[in-house]
Structure 1
Amino acid sequence: MQPSNLESAMQMLIKTFHKYSGKEGDKYTLSRGELKELLLEELGTYLGNSRDNEAVEKVMNDLDANNDGEVDFTEFIILMGALTVACNDFFLEKRGKF
């Protein structure tokens, strides 16, 4: 049985996180460098291919809830949820639903 679209999306989030985690240190977290690489490679279209280190630092600081200098999977999913909400709001506004 094929996974549903939503199940496939969940699997892709997990695979994408682990594609970048562990290159520098703990394999279950993203370092600043790993997070930057993930943001640029996987979300460049939505983020405008920003090379702004300050923007990456802000995202890292906002996400790193426990202040350990790394982003764990839960913190990563919070980012994905927030970006998804922002994209939904953007597309609703473009359609004139507000």
Structure 2
Amino acid sequence: MSITDLQKGMATLITVFHKYSGKEGDKTTLSKGELKELLSTELGDILGKSSDKAALDKIFKDLDANADGTVDFQEYITLVACITMLCNEFFTGKK
């Protein structure tokens, strides 16, 4: 049985999260610094190479739904889903 494209995508989402989580502490969450590195490295082409601290602070605050000072896997997946929806709207011309 071969792995499907969707299963590959899910595995990639998990792998990318864990590539950055735990560099500054808890392996199950992203700190603000880890999130910044993930966004600039993995999504830089989409988000632009913004070094705007205020923009990063807002993204982090909005993502940190439970206000614990970190971004957990569920909060990370929410970000990826939102960006994916925006990309789909851009490429299909729907707004």
TM-score class, shorter: over 0.9
Unaligned runs of 5+ in 2: none
CA distance in 2, matches of 1:6, 1:49: 28
Q: Which runs of 4+ in 1 moved over 2 A?
A: none
1:83 aligned partner: 83
CA RMSD of aligned residues (A): 1.1
1:32 alignment counterpart: 32
1:32-69 Cα shifts (integer Å, max 9, x gaps): 00000000000000001111111111110000000011
Moved more, 71-80 or 45-54: 45-54
Q: Residues of 1 paired with 2:64 and 2:18: CA distance?
A: 17
Structure scoring higher RCO (CA < 8 A, sep ≥ 6) equals 2
Shift of 1:25: 1.0
- Residue 2 (structure 1) shift: 2.6
Pairs within 5 Å for 1:37-76: 37-76=37-76
Aligned partner of 2:17 in structure 1 is 17
Identity of aligned residues (%): 57
Q: Which residue of 2 aligns with 1:5?
A: 5
TM-score where L is the length of structure 2: 0.95
SS at match of 1:51: coil
CA distance in 2, matches of 1:87, 1:56: 20
